[in-house]
Structure 1
Amino acid sequence: MLDKKIKERKKELSKNIFEYKESSAGGIIITGLKRNERVSHLEIPDNIDRQPVTHIDANAFTDNETIKSVNIGKNVRFLGSGAFWGCTNLNNVSYSKLTDIAFRCFAECTSLSYFDFTNVETVNSSAFAESGLKKVIIPSSVKDVKTYAFKCCEELTMVFWSNEHDIPFRCFFNCKNLKTVILSDQIKNIECHAFDACPNAEFTFV
């Protein structure tokens, strides 16, 4: 039975299930799934047609309710705006070298309780708005977080901001169940209203 599942998995990975286009700068941009393709585990390949897959296009998988997990190939650096917006059953995302998470990329991914920000450099506006994140850990690799990045994350209870970069305007707006906020004592600026409508948040500097 196990061997059969392994063979089926290899067969699934061997066929191309994606719509894609070539980038003017070289490489492949995945624009979505082919018609009638339905997968629960989405494996973004390193290469297609012997060219590196470098981008996932804007709205490529928006509102896809069958995707539960995503493994992003080692050549992908950028996720387009709304790439996984509204994927309500997505609960796991893994990647190798992703650096930029675009506007509303994982917004309304209500089953996504955790995201590893290691190696990420930029988290754009509303990237995780209204998602299911329960804990947010921002490491030193993250250089820039934009406004509203984590707004209205109702499941969020803990934030650990371990770098010195600014926490922007309304970054955690209306995270009403946020209780524990741990901040680096090297932080330069917490912009006004960064934690608006977080009535239970308690702050500690380390």
Structure 2
Amino acid sequence: MIKSKISVAVLFLLCLCWLPTLSLAKGKSHFTVEDSQYGTRLVKWEGKDSVVDFNNIQELKDVKVIGEMAFEMNKYIKQVILPDNLLIIEKRAFNTCENLQTVKMPNTVRYIGNSAFNMDHQLELSVLPDSLQEIGEWTFWDCNKVCISVIPEHVSKIGRQAFTCCEGIKALVFKNQLEVINDRAFSGCKNLERIVFPNNLREISDFAFARCINLKGINLPASLQKIGYRAFGNCESLLFVKYNSNPKVDSSAFMNCPISQEK
């Protein structure tokens, strides 16, 4: 009798240990979810579906977090519709998804982590959610079809190399929350022609816009205090720079730029 009671107790404890993580199959789609401090978190997606619509899967429609490496190197997905109340996309969530073409993000996403969409060469993304507050490092690195034109107003940080070699970007309008544009954030955006900087920008860091070869002119805000090493290096079409303050400018900030007019 005592052994029987002990066995039941042990079995109960084992069940409790397994409770937070749930592995499910939905047709051909296989995934694992767990509880987190923000709500339901997708741990891993292992399906072979080309289209993944979270809102059509009962167990995934309330997901708040796409976990680290959840879809990393998935070669099957082409289209993803994220859940309506998603908050966080963790680092490397969709890293190197070679066939991913479209991602629909709700206007609830606050954070996109490091390398979240790194090297997704087929990804065509034109709009970031208005709710976004932070973009990590290498987030869209070498996503050459990403063509966003507006950085949402609540974004206060863009990580290093976040949009490096995003050749689809032709214009950038920064909203007024951003104070620092980090190293190489937009370097190699070779089709970028126009930038509207935020009014309270303090620093443009090293190589931030290096090799933006179609950028022709810039109007810098009065708040600007520093322009880093080769920040606009090798912008070979840059002819015009207008200053509205007296920032500290690195001697190589405009290396190999054919500037003919400064004000």
Structure 1 window deviating more from structure 2 (110-119 vs 161-170): it is: 161-170
String of CA shifts for 1:90-146, please: whole Å, max 9, x gaps.
112443411211111000011111111122222100000111311223232212221
Q: 1:13 to 1:158 in 2, by over 3 A?
A: farther
CA RMSD of aligned residues (A): 2.8
String of CA shifts for 1:12-42, please: whole Å, max 9, x gaps.
58456997139xxxx63344349798343x3
Aligned partner (choices 140, 150, 158) of residue 101 of structure 1: 158
Deviation at 1:179, TM superposition (A): 1.3
Q: 1:148 to 1:37 in 2, by over 3 A?
A: closer
User: Does the Cα contact within 8 Å between 2:94 and 2:118 map onto a contact in 1?
Assistant: no
Partner of 2:234: 174
Partner of 2:66: 20
1:158-197 correspondence to structure 2 within 5 Å: 158-163=217-222, 164-184=224-244, 186-197=245-256
For residue 156 of structure 1, give the secondary structure of its aligned residue in structure 2.
coil
User: Does the Cα contact within 8 Å between 2:126 and 2:149 map onto a contact in 1?
Assistant: yes
- 1-structure distance, mates of 2:249, 2:229: 8
Partner of 1:55: 111
Q: TM-score normalised to the size of structure 1?
A: 0.76
- The AA in structure 2 aligned to 1:86 is D
User: Does the Cα contact within 8 Å between 1:174 and 1:195 map onto a contact in 2?
Assistant: yes
Partner of 1:146: 205
Deviation at 1:64, TM superposition (A): 1.3
Q: TM-score normalised to the size of structure 2?
A: 0.61
Partner of 2:183: 125
Count how many residue pairs are aligned between Structure 1 and Structure 2: 183
- The AA in structure 2 aligned to 1:65 is H
- The AA in structure 2 aligned to 1:134 is E
Q: 1:135 to 1:107 in 2, by over 3 A?
A: same
Deviation at 1:161, TM superposition (A): 0.8
For residue 69 of structure 1, give the secondary structure of its aligned residue in structure 2.
coil
Please list every run of 5 or more consecutive structure 1 residues that lacks an aligned counterpart in the other structure: 1-10, 48-52
Q: Percent identity?
A: 20
Deviation at 1:55, TM superposition (A): 1.4
- The AA in structure 1 aligned to 2:204 is V
- 1-structure distance, mates of 2:54, 2:171: 26
Bigger relative CO (Cα 8 Å, ≥ 6 apart): 1
Partner of 1:38: 100
User: Does the Cα contact within 8 Å between 2:201 and 2:221 map onto a contact in 1?
Assistant: no
User: Does the Cα contact within 8 Å between 2:98 and 2:120 map onto a contact in 1?
Assistant: no
- The AA in structure 1 aligned to 2:188 is E
Q: 1:43 to 1:144 in 2, by over 3 A?
A: farther
For residue 249 of structure 2, give the secondary structure of its aligned residue in structure 1.
coil
For residue 71 of structure 1, give the secondary structure of its aligned residue in structure 2.
coil
- 2-structure distance, mates of 1:117, 1:183: 17
Partner of 1:5: none
